[in-house]
Structure 1
Amino acid sequence: MTEGVNGRLVKQPLEALKEYFGFGAFLEGQEEVVEKILSGSDGLVVMPTGGGKSLCYQLPALCLRGVTIVVSPLIALMKDQVDALNAKGIPATMINSTLGLAEQRERISRMRSGEFKLVYVAPERFRAEGFVKAIQEVEVALFAVDEAHCLSQWGHDFRPDYMRLGKALERIGRPQCIALTATATSVVREDIMKVLQLQSPFNMMSGFARPNLSLAVTPVEKRTQKYMRIKEVIKKWKTGIIYCATRKRVEEVAEMLYDWGVSCIAYHGGMSDEERERTQNVFISKEADVAIATNAFGMGIDRPDVRFVIHFEVPGSIEAYYQEAGRAGRDGEAAFCELLFNYADTRTQEFFIEGANPSYATVCAVYQHLQNQADGNFEIRETLDQIAQGADVKNAMSVGSALGVLVKNGLIERYDVPGSRVRGTRLLKPDVLTSRIGLDREALEEKEGRDRDKLGAMVELCYARICRQQWIMEYFGEKDASQCGSCDVCMSKFGGELREGDEAEVLILKKALSGVARMSQKTRGKWEGRYGRGRIVQMLVGSKSQEVLKNNLHELSTYGLLKDMGTAYTNELFRGMHEGGLIYTQRGEYPLVTLTPAGERVMFGKSDCKLVWPERYAAESPVTDSSVGMAEVGFDGRLFAQLKELRNEIAKNQGVPPYVVFSNKILEYLTRLRPNSMEAGLRVRGIGEAKAEQYLKPFIELIASYDN
């Protein structure tokens, strides 16, 4: 490429890539995005965390004549990016609320004179009329909206200030615009393009898969179990981030880690801008090993050696979870991500959903209070708590969301008050009565419904027993995603294919269902749960824990029915029953498990079912003849996944269930033993001459190519 659109190109991209970034080639997906931008097209780029998203606009900024404005949601994120660019000799700066008016004017003046190539701007700056007018005098080559999911009300981190950007683009002459985000469903992508009014945009989506991440969901019943897991993970992986849902939990976890002697920092929204910046810099500069933080931490942070990410509670959406998990392993090396799942933690997310989705009545109450309290200039200066108290709204968080709804509908505007942390509110249509504000009630209800669906999908992932990354890829619209081979499901020694059980398995299933029935109650023909899954499993395996004895569960006729199967097997069986529709978890204050009508029919032997059955393991050698002495190499999750894919492909071609070819246990033996010939393969337990003749050869060939 020698010339950009209208002769805007002043430097070749590969030349700039080498000169400023020291790279001789692009990462996957980057080159095509850069070419599209340099051709003059608007566009939307969805690229996973760690995929080199920032370079997609930073490099074109160096190649185009004029200034690139980058809209970024966090001050700490801006500073991190600007410092990194300046260290590379790239003239960049930022404009946000930390600067005085004189300093803002000075930087805008330098923008006009062409001293900067990139200027990071906080979205709230576009509220100021003076700022927008000043930008009109700047030659803007590119308008980049980073973390673009923030402008979609269907996204997981909606920010009302982002809604102004479409109009701001028109005001400054509609420069070329590029929107970038790490996670976005099809609905969010459509919303981004609509709000920004992108002109004939290209739409680029890089693969979401992060093969270096090992994802795990660990069910826990008590907070002490969470701390035990955290201690184990820190001991093994050393450096990482622990995400908590609330400020209170951040401080609690941080205090525990301090007591353990762990070098750590705490980060949350209750800290001042200066405190957050200082704390974040401590972590980035590797002066601390672990960060305990709410979800704002890490957005765009590029510390490459984050080896683990732990979620102390369940996040509110798949988008939030995967973006946060993706902050591990940005150097491409192996990293571990664990979600400590307790269904009761969803209550916190339910509270957040209520706060983010004010009812029509709440919005009206807030608007009426603003009208009642406004001065002669139709302005009011009150904190969210003061507005909540005056409007008689219990959840102060919902007040902020209600104000956002009123801003979006053009009824009010919010502005910064110099020298104060309290923001002002101005009525734009003071003559409009509360009864005539004309809000779209259906849209409010639809957004709340979608937010609840997002939380439901997150819970579904936690219960699912298919490959974690495969599940997430399909959620984001990637069809035929392959198994990762390294998540907790892929690495589990339990689990097989969907099939009818044998006689022994059906008997075990009926015992488990009977246990659920005994710990439920049936009222007017409908089953209602009384206990959670953990307590039912304890009863079935004959636990003598205090909770079991205190509730007299040891006196039930089903007590200890699955004692011989063990807790791990029974938990896996419950997952299979849940996915098979035989039991369900009632949503509410506590996750109570009970029977479905289908589960009742199976329990009484009135119908059959297909499940993903746990495998029953005996203590046996993986080889049929212990005198052979074939050495175990060790379990390799990636090889296991490849063998499983081969097995599934053969089964599909022959029209038989996969377990007919080889069971998961045989695949595990093949993974551990890696036989290098048909003769060696025949020594693997479970492979007879008939199986070997029909199926073994391609597996031996795959193992040989894998080892070489």
Structure 2
Amino acid sequence: MKEALNRYFGYADFRESQAEVVQRILDGEELCVIMPTGAGKSLCYQLPVLMRPGYGLVISPLISLMKDQVDALNARGLAAVCVNSAIPPSEQEAALRAVAAGQVKFLYVAPERFQVLSFRHFLDSVRPNLVVVDEAHCVSQWGHDFRPDYQMIWSQCEVLQQMQVCAFTATATPAVREDIKAQLQRPAMAELVSGFKRPNLEMSVLPCRAKKDKQAVMERLLRAPQPTLVYTSSRREAENLASQFGLQYYHAGMTDQARKAAQDYFISDACPTLVATNAFGMGIDRADVRRVIHYNMPGSLEAYYQEAGRAGRDGARSQCILLESYPDLRIQQYLLELNNPPPELLVGLHRHLRQQEARSDGATCVWQPELVWPTLPEAKNAGQVQAAARILERLGIVQRTYVRASGSGKLTFHRRLDKLCREHDGVQTQRSLLVAKVAAHLQARGLKTWHGHPAELADISGLRLDQVRRVLDYFQGDVLDWLPDESGEALVLTEAGQAPELNVDLSSLARKRRVDEQRLALVREYCRSYTCRQAFIISYFGEKIGAWQCGCCDICASRSGKHVAAVRPATPAELRDGRQLLAALELIDGQFGRRRFLAMLMGLENESPVLRAHPAYGSMQQRGERYLEELLNALCRQGYIEISKGTYPVLELSDRGSKAAQGHEELKLSLLSAAKKTPRRRKF
């Protein structure tokens, strides 16, 4: 195997677990492999394909990811092609002919390709030596990036049951792994979890109470330029942050040309700093990213470790910094609401799609959730409508397809609807009938724009279809704008979706919501934990590591006296306050939680006679709540104070904390920001 590794890839040896995966695949095993970003997953399936006759089939979720991997293989002289909707049909046919002729070793396809009958016949006649499901967490409805098209492959293409299948992903918890195996109809598939230890990644969490704290951290970090990715939770945040610091940004709402320019900048610039949403990163192959900053809290540890893992893929020391703040938690809770739409919205969307199909006389319309949203009172925005569509797809009520322009379009009037109604009502001309009837139709529904097929306008106005088209042409650019649809994605009702009522079991929605809530709660727990950062995450993914610790995260480094990114040494005054805080805790060690302890130091109301009688009661009121919280966080982070587990966690001095409180050990502290001693009273 090592000879083949060197011949095809130029490497002298395997990384951790790679050799085991390659050998087990060559032996015919079906594996569910969980390896983090940067651990070398792709090689684990590429090498077995190269060592066998024939070709390997790789199912990949993104066209850009496919293209990057195909380009990388071809650059090594390893013949690879991809077949997807972005490639002209003639090129698709040529690629499949090359595969059939034995001229290609790797065929990359999107999951949607299995909807094409001719492709399923091709697989039956030209069978691959291995089927690889890449980014396999997309198969699972409990995965953080679920794709319904992935799930439907196995019911659409029965011939896959006769082939060796392996699944690869960077992020899958034990529950997600079980669901992946169930969806692939391979319950006996062996699991291999490895490579999550990344001792070159210095992971840290920096608590930030307000936006200005985050901005201060960013200013401090950006003074030392190095290849950097900054992740935000929204497109607007990415644009605002990039504008504030003069950086480039990337998100899915940009034009193809702008996204490519941002991508090329990040890949080719010697020292880029790019602000991006989670739309950026999958398939981006830059090994020397030295810093990944999460400006906003992510919604799951899966997403966080996948994005943070893009740092230091060359093995050199790199930083992964998460800026934690309570407002970010509220943002994630809001996003959780959007991604878990209520059952009433699913019913409303199903009804809308049935009505649209009836009105358009069977013609398929391009799916435009931003136009559907205003017609559904149950929806908060277009994003929630899109989430509802994904759920209906998963439930088998709709399926996505690609349509050419069908004659549908968007109609917008230039003037107020009430004025148009008054001006044209009662006028028996074709032009006035159309304007009055459609304006009244929109006004009655509280809409400003209308979307659909001209045949629907004929029904509303009582005109013939040819008359509607003439009126639209006549008024175009003056009274109204008629914008025909372009080709694009469409939603089509399945046989089950044709039923008058939505008849599905919606109990899984509640379960998915609970899973998402648990994921978010674990991110919060990670931020507040005072154990090794990597050990916390690795345990979550199920890799058995015993007592291993990374030795370089903010927790490990603080307790060993090493430097931590974006923090500064405490001043003599802060060290005195720290010792005073430890001495105060020593008198009530293990009795109270952090909020009641801080309230006691601030001299705020407290029902406990023990705290009111404490000699330090109110003694640090002038220091300010914000300052004291930062001081307490630093003492916990650096091992002087421990927090008990259980329903009601309390503060406890560690052995190190007791020695520091009694003056037997020097107190060493690092803090995030400059201390502000502005008193701020708040009831704890």
TM-score when normalising by structure 1: 0.71
Alpha-carbon distance, 1:335 to partner: 0.5
For 2:497 and 2:211, the matched residues in 1 are separated by 53
Cα 1:619/1:231, change in 2 over 3 Å:
farther
Determine the structure 1 residue equivalent to 2:495: 429
- Which string of whole-angstrom CA distances, capped at 9 and with x for unpartnered residues, describes residues 9-35 of structure 1? xxxx43331112111221110111111
Residue of structure 1 aligned with 2:302, choices 319, 323, 332: 319
CA 1:48–1:257 in 2, change beyond 3 Å: closer, same or farther?
A: same
Tell me by how many angstroms 1:221 deviates. 2.1
Q: How does 1:276-675 map to 2 (within 5 A)?
A: 276-286=259-269, 289-374=272-357, 375-377=360-362, 379-392=364-377, 393-418=379-404, 420=486, 422-429=488-495, 432-435=498-501, 437-479=502-544, 480-492=546-558, 502-503=586-587, 512-514=598-600, 518=604, 559-560=621-622, 568-572=630-634, 579-580=643-644, 610=652, 615=657
Shift in Å, 1:617: 9.2
What does the per-residue CA deviation read over 1:568-602, in whole Å, with 9 as the maximum and x for residues that have no partner?
Answer: 433446889994479x9xxxxxxxxxxx7x87xxx
Structure 1 residue 516: Cα displacement: 7.4
Q: What is the identity, as a one-letter code, of the residue corresponding to 1:44? A: C
- Higher mean C-alpha displacement, 424-433 vs 194-203: 424-433
Q: How far did residue 133 of structure 1 move?
A: 3.2
Equivalent-residue separation in structure 2 for 1:146 and 1:385 (angstroms): 31
CA contact (8 A) 2:583 2:661 kept: no
Alignment partner of 1:55 is 2:43: yes
- 1:126 is matched with which residue: 94, 114, 118? 114
Structure 1: distance between partners of 2:628 and 2:583: 22
Q: Percent identity?
A: 38
Contact 1:500-1:611 at 8 Å conserved across structures: no
Cα separation, 2, equivalents of 1:309 and 1:421: 37
Instruction: Provide the secondary structure at the position in 2 that maps to 1:119.
Output: strand
In the alignment, the residues of structure 2 paired with residue 37 and residue 238 of structure 1 have an alpha-carbon distance, to the nearest angstrom, of 39
Give the drift of 1:271.
2.1
| Corresponding position: 1:203 with 2:191 | yes
Q: Give, in whole Å, the separation in 2 of the partners of 1:506 and 1:31.
A: 49
After superposition, the Cα gap between the structure-2 partners of 1:179 and 1:239, relative to the gap in structure 1 and judged at 3 Å, is same
Q: Separation in 1 of the partners of 2:124 and 2:239?
A: 45
Shift in CA distance, 220/501, structure 1 to aligned 2, threshold 3 Å: closer
Matched to 2:508, the amino acid is A
Q: Structure 2 vs 1, CA of residues 401 and 577 (structure 1 numbering), >3 Å: closer, same or farther?
A: farther
Mapped partners of 2:79, 2:270: distance in 1: 28
What letter matches 2:600 in structure 1? S
- Offset at 1:612? 5.2
Tell me, which stretches of 5 or more residues in structure 2 are unaligned?
406-485, 562-577, 609-615, 671-684
Give the paired residue count. Answer: 556
Work out whether 1:256 is the aligned partner of 2:244.
yes
Give the Cα–Cα distance (whole angstroms) in 2 for the partners of residues 43 and 212 of structure 1: 28
How far off is 1:100 after superposition? 1.7
Q: How far 1:52 sits from its partner (Å)?
A: 0.8
In 2, Cα distance between the equivalents of 1:434 and 1:517?
A: 64
| Residue of structure 2 equivalent to 1:705 | none
Q: Contact (CA 8 Å) 1:76, 1:276: kept in 2 or not?
A: no
User: How far is 1:451 from its partner?
Assistant: 0.2
| Counterpart AA for 2:346 | V
**Residue 622 of structure 2 aligns to a residue in which SS?**
coil
Cα-to-partner distance string for 1:623-680 (whole Å, 9 max, x where unaligned): xxxxxxxxxxxxxxxxxxxxxxxxxxxxxxxxxxxxxxxx8979x9xxxxxxxxxxxx
Change (3 A) 1:115 1:275: farther
What is the aligned partner in structure 2 of residue 687 from structure 1?
none
Q: Is the 8 A contact 1:569 1:614 kept in 2?
A: no
SS at match of 1:518: coil
CA distance in 1, matches of 2:66, 2:240: 29
Deviations 1:79-107 (A, max 9, x none): 22111111110001212222122222221
With structure 2 as the length reference, what TM-score do the two structures score?
0.73
Contact 1:371 1:430 in 2 (8 A): no
The 2-side partners of 1:141 and 1:664 are apart by 64
* Residues 301 and 372 (structure 1), Cα distance of their counterparts in 2 relative to 1, 3 Å cut: same
The DSSP-based 3-state class of the residue aligned with 1:452 is helix
Give the deviation of 1:517 after TM superposition. Answer: 8.4
Tell me if the contact between 1:66 and 1:117 (Cα under 8 Å) persists in the aligned partners: yes
The CA distance in 1 between the partners of 2:201 and 2:588, in whole Å, is 37
Distance 1:332 1:421, change over 3 A: farther
Task: Look up the equivalent residue of 2:604 and give its one-letter code.
Answer: R
**How many Å separate the matches in 2 of 1:115 and 1:284?**
30
Q: Distance in 2 between the 1:468 and 1:406 partners?
A: 38
Contact 2:137-2:145 within 8 A present in 1 as well: yes
Report the alpha carbon displacement of residue 318 of structure 1 after superposing the two structures with TM.
0.7
CA RMSD in angstroms comes to: 3.7
Correspondence 1:166 to 2:159? no
User: Which residue identity does 2:228 align to in structure 1?
Assistant: G
Q: Distance in 1 between matches of 2:349 and 2:205?
A: 40
> Is the 8 Å Cα contact of residues 46 and 184 (structure 1) preserved in structure 2?
yes
What are the within-5 Å matches in structure 2 for residues 186-201 of structure 1?
Answer: 186-198=174-186, 200-201=188-189
**Structure 1: stretches of 5+ with no match in the other structure:** 1-12, 259-263, 526-540, 543-555, 585-595, 600-608, 623-662, 669-708
